[in-house]
């Protein structure tokens, strides 16, 4: 028996293999504004943060001011690139199919705008599983690592937070899920397991094993 009434997926790096794409686009935008930073460095600094938080961190670290239209340019280039390159995380179709057969509701909750979420999922062939059940942090007061988005989703489904499972791959997302009172499952590389576990997440390393991790958690 599955111990949850709702499974909430993050998008980038959880459903869609798009972290590298997003970080590459971010590095391009930063280069256009005079800072050379590769995709790996961009990820280490900004993974899981909202675009507004990225801008504040960038401006504080490098002492320059981004142009007012940088967010629009970033998302325009990102959505275009996602439509061309985004692919599903290996094994995610197996996990989704298992949950659907058990009748467990699923949804996606991401920092980005809905247009970006849809572009990612359509390119990855996953949109049909989440159409009408995609939620953006743009609709709440505070993005991750605040719990607002996850609490908003729980209310939308009428499910108590303690009956929600969150699937995340970033520290900001794990922090948000735990602050919302939800059990978080961390899709992680081995070298990050200790950090994610210390935050109260349950680690797992292959997406097709997510149903087993969910079932065994309580």
What is 59-94 written as a DSSP string? HHHH-----TTHHHHHHHHHHHHHHHH--BPTTHHH
> 107 vs 48, which has greater pLDDT?
107
Q: Where are the domains of the chain?
A: 6-18+86-215, 19-85
Q: In this structure, which topology does domain 6-18+86-215 adopt according to CATH?
A: Rossmann fold (3.40.50)
Beta bridge partners of 168: 186
Query: CATH topology of 6-18+86-215 equal to that of 19-85?
Result: no
Domain 19-85 grouped into CATH 1.10.150.240: yes
- Contacts of residue 80, Cβ cutoff 8 Å, sequence gap at least 6: none
Tell me the per-residue pLDDT of 110-152, one tens digit each, with 9 for 90 and over: 998 999 999 999 999 999 999 999 999 999 999 999 999 999 9
> What gap in Å lies between CA 55 and CA 65, rounded to an integer?
9
pTM for the predicted model, two decimal places: 0.85
Least confident of 50-54, 90-94, 207-211: 50-54
The dihedrals phi and psi of 67, each to the nearest 5 degrees, come to -65, 155
| 108: pLDDT strictly greater than 80 | yes
- Contacts of residue 150, Cβ cutoff 8 Å, sequence gap at least 6: 8, 109, 161, 164, 166, 176, 177, 180, 182
> What gap in Å lies between CA 15 and CA 126, rounded to an integer?
8
Q: Tell me, what's the pLDDT at 67?
A: 80
């Amino acid at each position: 028996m599955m111990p949850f009434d709702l499974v909430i997926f993050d998008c980038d790096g959880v459903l869609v293999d798009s972290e590298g794409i997003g970080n590459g686009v971010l590095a391009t935008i930063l280069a256009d504004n005079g800072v050379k930073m590769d995709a790996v460095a961009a990820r280490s600094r900004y993974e899981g943060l909202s675009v507004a938080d990225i801008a504040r961190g960038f401006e504080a670290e490098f002492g320059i001011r981004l142009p007012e239209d940088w967010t629009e340019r970033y998302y325009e280039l990102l959505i275009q690139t996602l439509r061309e390159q985004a692919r599903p995380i290996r094994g995610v179709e197996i996990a989704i199919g298992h949950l659907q057969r058990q009748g467990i509701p699923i949804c996606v909750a991401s920092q980005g705008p809905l247009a970006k979420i849809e572009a990612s999922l359509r390119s990855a062939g996953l949109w049909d599983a989440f159409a009408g059940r995609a939620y953006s942090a743009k609709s709440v007061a505070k993005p991750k690592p605040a719990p607002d988005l996850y609490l908003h989703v729980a209310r939308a489904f009428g499910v108590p937070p303690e009956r929600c499972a969150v699937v995340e791959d970033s520290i900001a997302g794990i922090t948000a899920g735990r602050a919302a009172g939800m059990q978080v499952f961390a899709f992680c590389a081995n070298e990050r397991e200790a950090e994610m576990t210390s935050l109260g997440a349950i680690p797992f390393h292959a997406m097709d094993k997510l149903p087993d991790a969910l079932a065994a958690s309580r």
